[in-house]
């Protein structure tokens, strides 16, 4: 209840700013009225720099934002073309997965050992050691839901590093390809493209609201 009380006013303030910016022909107006050609040209000037920024965005999304990355995948497909976008998205997903894996392994494993009963923990550890790589592969194949949290789950388990990486990489490739190719029709439809841009704006609003809401909640707890 307290979390909702914090998030609602922050979201309303951000939404009011977006509406104001749109009707005064500010940044939001320019963003919503951008064309696929304009979005694609953003990467044509400096492809390497644009690729690095895209990979960094994917890493941040994997580590910090447990939302579905579909919107970023579609944007990457428009900016770089499907093949390059798949390579960059998978690279970012794997690097982000490694970071999340080590965060959970270093700081979360001891918590699991304290809280989970030993018999249950040993059974789960035995399963993850034997089938962890296959489990990661199968879980990544689902393109409909975000798989970011599984990186932390893997870190909390006893799955070995290389089976985790191989399973993650092989599972991400087909799922990522499906999602990026879903964005191809959007480039040819002005209406769908505008809906896509609005969805990105709302996604960012939600992410910012959650960030400041959680930050404010943490500050209140320390008082």
Higher-confidence position of 12 and 61: 61
Q: How far apart are CA 59 and CA 53, in angstroms?
A: 10
Asked if residues 36 and 193 have their Cβ atoms less than 8 Å apart, the reply is yes
Cα 106 to Cα 73, 127, 156, distances in angstroms: 30, 20, 9
67: left (phi over 0), alpha (psi -120 to 50) or beta: beta
pLDDT for 185 equals 74
3-state DSSP assignment of residue 24? coil
Q: Which long-range contacts (CB under 8 A, 24 or more apart) does 108-114 make?
A: 108/152, 108/155, 108/156, 109/155, 109/156, 112/156
Nearest to 97 by CA among 134, 63, 74: 63
Out of 57-61, 85-89, 184-188, the most confident range is 85-89
Q: Token pair for residue 187?
A: 């480039």
Q: What would the mean pLDDT of 109-127 be, rounded to a whole number?
A: 79
pLDDT digits (tens, 9 = 90+) for 149-184: 889 989 988 899 999 999 999 999 998 998 888 777
Higher-confidence position of 4 and 23: 23
H helix and E strand count, the chain: 12, 0
Q: What would the mean pLDDT of 60-86 be, rounded to a whole number?
A: 83
pLDDT for 122 equals 82
Dmax (CA) of the chain: 63
Q: How far apart are CA 22 and CA 19, in angstroms?
A: 5
pLDDT for 117 equals 78
Out of 8-22, 134-148, 209-223, the most confident range is 134-148
């Amino acid at each position: 209840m307290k979390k909702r009380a914090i998030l609602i006013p922050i979201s309303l303030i951000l939404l009011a700013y977006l509406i104001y910016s749109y009707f005064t022909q500010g940044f939001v107006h320019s963003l919503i009225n951008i064309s696929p050609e304009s979005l694609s040209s953003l990467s044509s000037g400096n492809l390497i720099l644009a690729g690095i920024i895209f990979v960094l965005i994917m890493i941040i999304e994997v580590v910090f934002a447990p939302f579905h990355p579909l919107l970023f995948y579609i944007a990457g497909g428009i900016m770089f073309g499907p093949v390059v976008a798949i390579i960059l998205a998978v690279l970012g997903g794997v690097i982000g997965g490694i970071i999340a894996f080590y965060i959970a392994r270093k700081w979360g494993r001891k918590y699991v050992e304290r809280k989970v009963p030993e018999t249950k923990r040993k059974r789960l550890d035995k399963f993850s050691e034997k089938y962890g790589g296959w489990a990661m592969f199968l879980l990544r194949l689902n393109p409909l839901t975000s798989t970011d949290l599984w990186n932390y789950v893997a870190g909390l388990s006893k799955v070995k590093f290389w089976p985790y990486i191989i399973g993650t990489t092989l599972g991400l490739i087909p799922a990522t390809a499906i999602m990026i190719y879903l964005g191809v029709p959007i480039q040819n439809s002005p209406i769908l493209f505008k809906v896509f841009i609005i969805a990105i704006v709302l996604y960012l609003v939600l992410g910012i609201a959650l960030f400041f809401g959680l930050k404010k909640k943490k500050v209140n707890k320390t008082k």
